[in-house]
Amino acid sequence: MICIMTSKCIGCTICKQVCSTGNIQIVDGKAQRIAATCDFCLACVHHCPFHAIGLKTEKIQKQDTVTPK
Ligand code: SF4
Ligand code: SF4
């Protein structure tokens, strides 16, 4: 999941401009994701000059994993 750290965001709009799916908007001077999921192209992560966007991974529970036969 894409995670925006609002304390680092200055609302420069670069992430909004590079997002091909229109998934980011600027609200009150801070970037916000519109949808919970996206294409995970990571363009916003790589282009943010303030390192305010990161990738948060879900912890995979052991019982949820599938063992190959
Ligand atoms: S590129 Fe970074 S600093 Fe600029 S609006 Fe997006 S999250 Fe905020
Ligand atoms: S990872 Fe790609 S699709 Fe998802 S919000 Fe960032 S730029 Fe948009």
Q: Which atom of ligand 2 is nearest to the CA of 21?
A: 3
Which two structure tokens, joined as six digits, stand for 58?
């879900």
pLDDT higher than 80, residue 59? no
Say which ligand is closest to the CA of 37: 2
Q: Which atom of ligand 1 is nearest to the CA of 5?
A: 7
Please give the residue that has the higher pLDDT: either 36 or 56.
Answer: 56
Partners of 33 in beta bridges? 24
CA gap 45, 61 in Å, rounded: 26
pLDDT confidence of 26, banded at 50, 70, 90?
Answer: very high
> What pLDDT is recorded for position 36?
77
Q: Residue range 51-57: average pLDDT? A: 91
39 lines ligand 2 (CB under 6 A): yes
What is the phi/psi pair of residue 7, to 5°?
Answer: -65, -25
Domain 2-59 fold? Alpha-Beta Plaits (3.30.70)
> What pLDDT is recorded for position 19?
97
Please give the residue that has the higher pLDDT: either 61 or 48.
Answer: 48
**Nearest residue to 4 (alpha-carbon basis) of 28, 15, 20:** 15
Provide, for the chain, the percentages of residues in helix, strand and coil under a 3-state DSSP scheme, each rounded to the nearest 5: 20, 20, 60
